[in-house]
Amino acid sequence: MNKLAGDTTVSIGQKLTKTGIPRQTSGRRAAPGLTAKRRMLFLAALAQSGVITEAAQAAGMSRGCVYTHRAKDPEFAREWDDSLLQFADSLEAAAHQRAVDGWLEPIFQGGELVGHARRYSDSLLLALLKAKRPEYRSTPPAQVVAIQQPKDRDPVRLARKIAFALAIAKKDAERGAG
């Protein structure tokens, strides 16, 4: 057995998905059902990638099968939501790191590396401020509470917002480097 990031254990018969998440392989079609092992694999992969289809593949199940189990098992649905919140937390941590700590960007002169410059993402910093402080939002705080409060609790929506902010920051960084 091998250890992956996030203390995920990989057995010898397992392969990895594109993002390095283990998935079950057995040479035959996966049997239906959510075993304890498949449940653990699915939830660990979901917390790492935030992608339902990829997490289902990691557990040797179809996307439809995991949704069926989610609808039938409230405890599994709660664990699913917790995994998505864990993924959203990791996205928020990555956004914070790029906005506050920055990253080192190489500096070249005449085709040779002459040093590094620390770069920061102002757009990510603003997105984080808007998420945490109502006074930085473009809509008045009373409207935000009345309109968006139920949506802010949706872990999938939160993960999408953070992923969108990261994509914008990456484009901004690429434009600044180009």
**pLDDT block averages, 10 residues each, the chain of length 178:** 46 54 52 82 95 94 93 95 94 90 92 92 86 76 51 70 85 75
Domain boundary among 25, 48, 72: 72
**Same domain membership, residue 111 and residue 43:** no
Residue 149 lies in a domain: yes
Q: What count of other Cβ atoms lies within 10 Å of the Cβ of residue 40?
A: 14
**Same domain membership, residue 168 and residue 95:** yes
Domain boundary among 30, 48, 72: 72
**Same domain membership, residue 168 and residue 90:** yes
**Same domain membership, residue 64 and residue 41:** yes
Residue 77 lies in a domain: no
**Same domain membership, residue 141 and residue 101:** yes
Amino acid occupying residue 123: S
- Domains of the chain: total: 2
Please answer whether residues 165 and 127 qualify as being in contact, where contact means their C-beta atoms are separated by less than 8 angstroms. yes
**Same domain membership, residue 145 and residue 107:** yes
Residue 161, pLDDT score: 82
Residue 141, pLDDT score: 54
Residue 130, pLDDT score: 84
**What is the number of residues in the chain?**
178
**Same domain membership, residue 67 and residue 11:** yes
**Same domain membership, residue 171 and residue 93:** yes
**Same domain membership, residue 55 and residue 94:** no
- Of 75, 23, 90, whose CA–CA distance to 53 is shortest? 23
| Domain, as residue range, for 63 | 2-72
Residue 15 DSSP one-character state: E
Residue 6, pLDDT score: 46
**Same domain membership, residue 23 and residue 101:** no
Residue 27, pLDDT score: 46
Rounded to two decimals, the pTM is 0.56
